[in-house]
Amino acid sequence: MRLFENYSLKNYNTFHIDVTAKKFVELLSIDSASSYFASNNDPSENILLIGSGSNILLTQNYEGTVIHPNITGIKVIHKTDDFVLVESGAGVVWDDLVTFAIENNYGGIENLTSIPGTVGAAPVQNIGAYGVELKDIFHSLNAIEIATGERRKFNLEECEFGYRDSVFKNELKGKYVITKIVLRLSINPELNIDYQAVKEKINERDSENLSIKDVREIIAEIRNNKLPDPQKYGNAGSFFKNPVVVSDKLEELQQSYGDVPHFVVDYNHFKLPAAWLIEKAGLKGKRIGNVGTHVNQPLVIINYGGASGNEILEFSKFIQKEVKNKFAIHIMPEVNII
């Protein structure tokens, strides 16, 4: 364990906002994490969990303690003829876990390639992309209760996964630190290639007998073409969630705009791409000062350099207002705003 005071968080958020934490604690092992929380149980202490900071917007200095779980290691803990259980420390870079799986031909995770962030943050957000969510391959996770230092295991049901949501964003927010997760991956994977952009790229390649490695390469190519490199332009990936509307609202939009892209949630609810709404509102590539939407993917808000967290927040509110005025649809942030 390592502890710092008045510590800069610029390297711990992908917007590159230079704010400080009053106290910064890096956890390097499960034992040290458990011991730290068992002996530091001040109920008045504000605690913020940060992995790589790829899904947060920091708008001010943090007058509390930032916990940075940096527990590493990937290993197989169980294997059958059909599936394998892979355990990963919370501090592992998510895409390194994807690489481990692909290299060993363990399937189910390939659609989640190139998603920034660490393994420990993945269950909090129930990360998802191209027709797959973490919950689809999730087995369990281990966590430590911040108030007591006690260790607890959570199964799939206990995590209460939803669309970009989990119990760790709601009633257990700020109460547990995830230390490791276990994924259930397939030995004989069935490819999930129904997403339209993936189909189009497969057709371009004229590919046959696709492997999980091929699917990963295709999705990585799509993402790299659409999403800016956070090292060049500060961003947190998709800033907004895709809104869900009822069938009457979808029909209303179709009358005005023709073929509206959508995904079926159930018989009366449909998910709309927030990127489509932002683009139709004339905000693709929109820039105000040092903040703007990306020219290829308007769902991504970019810090072109020097913008404060509050500038980015105000720009996001401007996007929300313009979309609401045009469509009467409120798009919600996917990014956690601190």
Catalytic site residues? Answer: 164, 238, 334
Lateral strand order in the sheet of 244-246: 244-246, 269-271, 263-266
Two tokens at 319?
């996007």
- Determine the Cα–Cα distance for residues 103 and 14; give it in Å rounded to an integer: 27
Buried/exposed code over 6-16 (b: 16+ C-beta within 10 A; e: otherwise): ebebeebbbbb
DSSP code string of 118-154: BGGGHHHHT-EETTEEGGGTEEEEEEEETTT--EEEE
Contact 116, 89 (CB under 8 A): no
- Determine the Cα–Cα distance for residues 160 and 311; give it in Å rounded to an integer: 33
Give the burial class of 144: count Cβ atoms within 10 A of its Cβ; 0-12 exposed, 13-18 middle, 19 or more buried.
Answer: buried
- Determine the Cα–Cα distance for residues 269 and 136; give it in Å rounded to an integer: 21
Contact 58, 19 (CB under 8 A): yes
Other beta carbons within 10 Å of 4: 14
Contact 164, 334 (CB under 8 A): yes
